[in-house]
Amino acid sequence: MLNRTPNTQWPPAEPAERSGILLVPYMWIGDFVRCHSVVQVLRDRFPDRPIDVLTTPLCVPLLNYMPGVRKGIVAELPRKRLALAKQWELAARLRREGYGTVLVMPRTWKSALAPFLAQIPERTGFVGELRFGVLNDLRWGERTLPRMVDRCAMLALPKGTPQPADWPLPALKVEPADIGLWRERQGIRAERRAVALCPGAVGPAKRWPADHYAEAARQLGRAGLDVWVLGGPNETEAAQAIVRHAGAHVRDLTGHDLRNAILALAACDAAVSNDSGLLHVAAALGTPSIGIFGPTSPWHWAPLNPLAAVIEPATELPCRPCHKPTCRLKHHRCMRDVAPETIVAATERALAEAKVH
């Protein structure tokens, strides 16, 4: 039975030399991929300590392709309520694992609750929602770190360490045999070059219009390429519209399983994506990737991995950057003004450069 008198020791107890480290990341796909930079920093500091990651059922397939991670702890806590019984249940699971350290990346109070209840000796995170007590290795200065990767990775370094000039790049690894089996299941031949389109994003403002994707797919097909449309169930309607417009060379590969999208992005020759989680997946796999950034800043939100092309509106708009889920001015010019021909040209350049290398 879980002891209900959690450790509030300050300074935190010294974790055992080989005790496990738990990461509590943000659970959006892109931020989850960024977490691999943190894994690599920890692996360099603590080569003998296993690293586990708290995950949701959606994100757990990523861990199979993330070197340096021992396993995922799958939990699905409600986003908008405390769910104390579930927190106690998760705490009991964490306590059985015997972790010595936890890094809590989200700044919310409830994200630190289960590690606190589990009495993990060293609980590191930014002050956030006044988390005095639930965390015992509190960090300040979160607001001075401009990018999400900086905020996450600095927690993996000792307090007071200057920020490095560069972080390790996320590097997802998919075995060629896994790609071969995926192609076999999908009935996809390896001889034809393929481009993946990822039309989804959190909020309509970050989505390049579906009719633009459809026209780009049509032009890519005329150039002799296969086109795969990837995403979750919310992207199926857009995928079907693209298929109807662009023809038989386009396949709808949307679905519930993120693993399917990971394997498709590893198998394709280039990817086109909005500012979304799948852009981070594609870039971390080393797939030449074209990122479309309308309302958001690529400096803040693009993958840490280099992209084949960053596409922004040609005309500077005074309303950018914007972080509203829908265009507050109703014109959505930051995305509508990006022409399909621009994306097709960037994709063809990326394919030509990849072929040379």
**Cis upstream peptide for 162 (omega within 30°):** no
Find out whether 10 and 22 touch, Cβ atoms under 8 Å.
Answer: no
Query: Across the 357 residues of the chain, what is the mean pLDDT of every consecutive 10-residue run?
Result: 44 68 96 96 97 96 97 89 92 97 95 96 94 94 90 95 95 97 92 94 93 96 96 95 92 96 98 97 98 92 95 88 85 92 97 80
DSSP 46-63: -TTS-EEEEE-TTTHHHH
Residues 31 and 78 in one domain: yes
Per-residue model confidence (pLDDT) at position 356: 64
Give the CA distances from residue 229 to residues 56, 215, 242, 273, in Å, rounded to whole numbers and listed in that order.
24, 13, 8, 10
Q: Which residues contact 160 (CB under 8 A, 6 or more apart)?
A: none
Per-residue model confidence (pLDDT) at position 13: 53
Is there a domain that residue 297 lies in? yes
Residues 197 and 321 in one domain: yes
How many domains is the chain partitioned into structurally? 2
Is there a domain that residue 138 lies in? yes
Is there a domain that residue 4 lies in? no
Per-residue model confidence (pLDDT) at position 76: 87
Give the CA distances from residue 261 to residues 58, 62, 247, 256, 280, in Å, rounded to whole numbers and listed in that order.
12, 10, 21, 9, 12
pTM here is 0.92
Per-residue model confidence (pLDDT) at position 312: 93
Q: What is the spatial distance between Cα 237 and Cα 199, in angstroms, rounded to a whole number?
A: 11
Per-residue model confidence (pLDDT) at position 355: 74
Residues 88 and 180 in one domain: no
Residues 114 and 206 in one domain: no
- Collapsing DSSP to helix, strand or coil, 181 comes out as helix
End-to-end C-alpha distance for the chain, whole angstroms = 58
- For 111, the domain range is 21-156
Write the DSSP symbol of residue 345.
Answer: H
Is there a domain that residue 252 lies in? yes
Is there a domain that residue 97 lies in? yes
Per-residue model confidence (pLDDT) at position 330: 83
Residues 69 and 134 in one domain: yes
Q: What is the spatial distance between Cα 343 and Cα 354, in angstroms, rounded to a whole number?
A: 16
Q: What is the CATH number of the domain that holds 86?
A: 3.40.50.2000
Residues 127 and 224 in one domain: no
Per-residue model confidence (pLDDT) at position 18: 85
Is there a domain that residue 169 lies in? no
Is there a domain that residue 15 lies in? no
Instruction: Dig out the tokens for 83 from the structure.
Output: 């769910």
Residues 193 and 227 in one domain: yes
Q: What is the spatial distance between Cα 150 and Cα 207, in angstroms, rounded to a whole number?
A: 26
Residues 206 and 352 in one domain: yes
